[in-house]
Amino acid sequence: MKKYSISDIERLIGVKAHTIRAWEVRYNLVPPKRTATNIRYYDDEDLKMLLNIVALNENGYKISRIAKLSKEQIADLVKQLNTEWGNETVQLLNLSNAALRYDENDFSNILTGCIEEMGLIKTMDVVLFPFMKRVGMLWQSGTIDPSQEHFASNLIRDRIIVEIDKIEKPEKKDALRFILFLPEAEMHETGLLFARYLLKRCGHETLYLGSEIPYLDIQKLIKSYKPDYTFIVLTSLNLGKDINKIIGRVMDHVDVPLLVAGSLISEFDILVKDKLIPLKNVCDMVDFLEEL
């Protein structure tokens, strides 16, 4: 069973350490265990309990009331919340819990419930992109294992592909052509697959290449495929300081407008360039693509 420090718990549940300690002192909620050398830690059951407490607290239950409930009562109330698929806060916590437990069935059921209730676009906007951002930060800090990040990413990737395959492509006489790829050093395909979903939904033509495509290959392909646009997504945190350099290298090898999306676009200042179109969020992506 994994051991978590209070700083790990803080990052995992999104609640400050001093608040967690206050819950412990005032209400005896989830007191930590101690090692033989008296170091405080939390285990998987403690984490699950804290995730349940946060879910209830963020849905109107006061901590003083939660403290009077048994573990079984808390779990029952959270189960009732779990079926509120449009409640993005609860589903974000549920996805985190499922990923930590490597629970594929639970994770997949949450995806299905959210998409059926809200549709893929809203689910990506309010649940999955925030979830992936949190997971990336937890991975970078060492709070979760890389395998947990890959587990979640691959299940989301597979689900987007399923949603892409469901689309009956509309006839569009003025359909545009897009090359979708991730440049060298970028491996996270979730945002790029979502862009493919949006483009197919709008009736446009896409050539999907995937991750870490060499720049020279793109240059050759543009000459033969003759796209109207190229499209990249930048999300890897270690690319942040080099984001304008990466965009510049891509633009050195393409002679058509470049669409750039991903979490890094909203977090860093992007240098304005001709033929560069930054899309800072899901609304930007949807609005731009639907107006083409």
Above 70 in pLDDT, residue 240?
no
CA distances from 85 to 126, 150, 161, 239 (A): 12, 24, 21, 33
* C-beta separation of 243 from 234 below 8 A: yes
Residue 215, judged by CB atoms within 10 A of its CB (0-12, 13-18, 19+), counts as: middle
Which pLDDT does position 66 carry in this prediction?
96
Above 90 in pLDDT, residue 21?
yes
Give the 3-state DSSP-derived string for 257-276, with helices as H, strands as E and coil as C. Answer: CEEEECHHHHHCCCCCCCCE
Mean of the per-residue pLDDT values for the chain? 91
Which pLDDT does position 153 carry in this prediction?
94
Which pLDDT does position 291 carry in this prediction?
87
pTM of the full structure: 0.87
Which pLDDT does position 29 carry in this prediction?
94
Query: Nearest 5°: CA angle at 288, between 287 and 292?
Result: 115
Which pLDDT does position 121 carry in this prediction?
96
Report the alpha-carbon distance of residue 28 to residue 232 in Å, rounded: 49
Tens digit of pLDDT for each residue in 146-205? Answer: 899 999 999 999 999 999 999 987 777 889 999 999 988 888 899 999 999 999 999 999
Tell me the mean pLDDT in the region 104-121. 95
